[in-house]
Chains A and B, each alone.
Chain A
Amino acid sequence: MIGKQRTSPVVPIDQVPPADTSPYRPVVLVVDDESAIADTVTEILSRSGYAAMTAYDANDALEMALLTPPELLLTDVVLPGMSGIELAITIKRIFPDCKILLFSGQASTLDLLASAKNDGHHFTLLTKPVHPEELLARVAGSLKHRETHAGATAG
């Protein structure tokens, strides 16, 4: 089987990987104004079988979400313009089933989160830096219910 690291476009016919028998690839929307973080997180999620999309601000993220509804929104809290929490609340209004994971490296976000909680919005906050394996576990955990549900429907 061909190694993932090879990029040659020419693949011998006997080495062509079998068709993906599991078409279910949860759509995860990754939002961070630090493009290096957004890009690497997207890459990590893609390698783990998610259909990950990247946005660098909340407006772009909303546009993308309207085109491809996400099953999970993974967003930084402090973003230019609309904050990650406002984005999460908006996405939740449009797609009530969308799961939300917030991540942030700023202590001040705890205050923002507390204020959202007072308004009845409960979000999980991951504190940066988040190790990729922990991030993957959290994403999988958030989508668990959905996957089980999807599996049952498919079966």
Chain B
Amino acid sequence: MSHAEPELAIASTATPEGPFDRPGSLLAAIVESSDDAIVSKDLNGIVTSWNDAACRIFGYTAEEMIGQTILRIIPPGLEAEEAAILERIREGMRIEPFETRRLRKDGCMVEVWVTISPVKDAAGRIIGAAKIARDLSERKRIEQRLIRSEKLAVQGQMAANVTHQINSPLETITNLVYLARLSSPPAEKAYAYLLSAEGELDRVAQLIRRILGHYHQTVSEQQIYLHDLVDEFLAVYRPKLHACGIAVDCRYEDRRPVTVNGTRFAGFFSNLLSSVPKVMSRGGILGVQVRESQDAAQDGVEVAIRLRANGPQENLLESALETLLARDGGDEGWTSAQPLFEEYGPAIACKTLKDRDAAITFFVPFT
């Protein structure tokens, strides 16, 4: 079966003449240099042209697609969509641009914005359709990021409000417990109980201070020793980690401070340490190493976090990152490490060493 060439001579290969010596080749050059996939097909859905952007977006070369059915890039379940499009094109009806999904050669889905126009021959008969598909993946990613940051901002605001409500009673309780302890003879059990209660209240107070600190992301950059931050958070979370059967192994070998936005790192550590018990539900070892970079090309501090779970743990690293990035909007989600990842993204390396062993490393330069 031969396929009529569309009126718009969309070429997938360079013409033998000069690039722009006739209108058709100029048009072909425009099509080829477009960032949008521009393909044409006949009324049976057989591909008749396929530009470079189509190769990039869908993964198939022109040779692989021309003469083949367009159904190759239609995901299972959406075949009816293509049939309806062809039906409307045959009837000469207009098709409003729409958003849909297409299947790449590698099996991944790609979100696209599709515009379809009928192609007519010299006599005005409809002989096929030209389809322009714009890759929406990047836009979707930005949208997702925006939604996430807005969600985090709202959660942060809520957490800050709740914190304010908690502060006053917490201050009163702290004062009352202190006064009660001063009023108890030190030899009595009540004194020891009240002392423990003060310790626990102090933990709550530290968390509250952190939350208020996170809310105020505007805190300027400061010089800090990263191990001081780690230590501060371990003081708060260590009892919980121990209770969950997680041993903590810290090694601090950084001798110089770094200039960073402390609250961002505070958010990262707070999120990390609070998520470790969820990630390693059967217990394990949390290793935190803060050291000056071993790589001569990188002058800075390296923080290596190692999670070693007791017993096999599926997707350990994915769970850790998921919780760290708070994609699930968990209860500590608002203290997300997202701003940190955005700032230091390229310097963050994550790898799963074994099924029960994962490592997250990031690097902060001394500037």
Contact = CB atoms under 8 A, between A and B. Distances in A.
A107 interface: yes
B103 to A, nearest CB: 49
A107 B216 contact: yes
Size band of the interface chain A makes with B: 20 to 34
Contact of A128 (B170, B183, B198, B201): B170
Interface in B9-44: none
A97 interface: no
A7 to B, nearest CB: 11
Given A40-B179, A47-B182, A131 B164 contact: no
A81 interface: no
Contact of A106 (B164, B178, B205, B209): B164
B202 interface: yes
Nearest to A103: B171
Given A105-B164, A105-B168, A127-B209, A132 B175 contact: yes
Contacts of B146: none
Interface string A17-46: 000000000000000001011001101100
Contact of A36 (B167, B172, B182, B202): B172
B201 A129 contact: yes
B203 to A, nearest CB: 11
A131 B204 CA distance: 11
B167 A129 contact: yes
Contact of A132 (B178, B183, B204): B178
B224 interface: no
Interface in A99-135: 105-107, 110, 127-133
B100 interface: no
B178 A110 contact: no
Given A105-B167, A131-B202, A131-B205, A37 B182 contact: no
A132 B174 contact: yes
14 contacts: A34-B172, A40-B172, A40-B176, A43-B175, A43-B179, A44-B178, A47-B179, A105-B167, A107-B164, A129-B204, A129-B208, A131-B174, A131-B198, A131-B202
Ranked 3 nearest A-B pairs via Cβ: A105-B167, A40-B175, A36-B172
